Amino acid sequence: MGKIIGSAPVLLVADVAASAEYYRDKLGFSHDRFWGDPPCFCMPHRDGHIVMLSQVEDKKSIVPHYKVVQGLWNIYFWVDDVVSIYDELKDRGAKIDYELCIQPYGCKEFGIQDLDGYDIAFGQDLG
């Protein structure tokens, strides 16, 4: 029987090159290439996880989840050392959306916001 071996969120972005640069410089991702001429798609990756970035013509198409459901992220990354990731991203100059905290559901987490306003959380299960 086949099994799922990975997944990748897809984010609609206003400027794929600027977004890929943000993910590289501020979040520690890497990217190998852009697709399209002019570039319109990129797949930054870190620690075996990919975020797909797809450029849109109309910025009105970009609707972060928190604008639909209060407090909802677009991506939630589970991490093994949330304090270390927090310190790294803060040092890199990522826009911290909310500071390290312990949530009622048993995770220590924080959130960042990318160039298009997407909320991305990094959490460590304390259980």
Per-residue pLDDT of the chain (127 residues; tens, 9 = 90+): 999 888 999 999 999 999 999 999 999 999 999 999 999 999 999 999 999 999 999 999 999 999 999 999 999 999 999 999 999 999 999 999 999 999 999 999 999 999 999 999 999 999 8
- Does a structural domain hold residue 41? yes
pLDDT for the residue 5: 87
Helix/strand/coil (H/E/C) assignment for every residue in 12-55: EECCHHHHHHHHHHCCCCECCCEECCCCCEECCEECCEECEEEE
Domain that holds residue 84: 10-125
C-beta of residue 126 within 8 angstroms of C-beta of residue 29: no
Whole-angstrom distance, CA of residue 61 vs CA of residue 80: 34
- Does a structural domain hold residue 36? yes
- Does a structural domain hold residue 86? yes
- Does a structural domain hold residue 4? no
Whole-angstrom distance, CA of residue 27 vs CA of residue 43: 14
- Does a structural domain hold residue 27? yes
- Does a structural domain hold residue 49? yes
pLDDT for the residue 63: 97
Q: Give the CATH number, domain containing residue 103.
A: 3.10.180.10
- Does a structural domain hold residue 107? yes
How many other β-carbons are positioned within 10 Å of the β-carbon of residue 69?
A: 8
- Would you call 71 helix, strand, or coil by DSSP? coil
Tokens of 5: 């071996």
Q: How many domains does the chain have?
A: 1
